[in-house]
Amino acid sequence: MENIKNITILTGAGISAESGISTFRDQNGLWENHEIEDVATPEGFQRNPELVYKFYNQRRFQLSQDNIVPNPAHMALAKLEREFSGSVLVITQNVDDLHERAGQKNLIHMHGELMKMRCVASNKIYKAPNFFDGDTPCPCCQEAGNLRPHIVWFGEMPFQMDKIQSELLNSDLFLSIGTSALVYPASIFYRWAAQGGAKTIELNLESTVASDRFDENFQGKASELVPGFVEDLLSGNISPEVS
Ligand code: BV8
Task: Quick: pLDDT tens for 96-135.
Answer: 999 999 999 999 999 999 999 999 999 999 999 999 999 9
Based on the residue annotation, tell me whether 74 is a catalytic residue of this protein: no
Across all residues in the chain, what is the average pLDDT? Answer: 95
Residue 109 belongs to what H/E stretch?
strand 107-109
Q: For 94-105, how does the pLDDT look when each residue is reduced to its tens digit (9 = 90+)?
A: 999 999 999 999
Residues with CB under 6 A from ligand 1: 12-14, 17-18, 23-26, 29, 40, 93-95, 111, 151-158, 161, 178-180, 182-185, 204-206, 208, 221-222
Q: Give mean pLDDT, residues 202-218.
A: 98
CA of 1 to the centre of ligand 1 (A): 31
> Edge to edge, what strands does the sheet with 107-109 contain?
107-109, 87-92, 6-11, 173-177, 199-204, 216-219
Q: What is the pLDDT of residue 2?
A: 56
Q: What is the pLDDT of residue 202?
A: 98
Q: Give mean pLDDT, residues 85-98.
A: 98
Is the model's pLDDT at 10 over the cut of 70? Answer: yes
Determine the Cα–Cα distance for residues 96 and 111; give it in Å rounded to an integer: 10
- Find all residues with CB under 8 Å of 196, minimum gap 6, and list them: 168, 169, 170, 171
Q: Give mean pLDDT, residues 208-218.
A: 98
Confidence band (pLDDT; 50, 70, 90) for 27? confident
In the chain, % of residues over pLDDT 90: 90
CB count in 10 Å sphere of residue 73? 29
Q: What is the pLDDT of residue 28?
A: 79
Q: For 160-172, how does the pLDDT look when each residue is reduced to its tens digit (9 = 90+)?
A: 999 999 999 999 9
- Report which ligand 1 atom has the smallest distance to the Cα of 180: 67
Q: Give mean pLDDT, residues 213-242.
A: 94
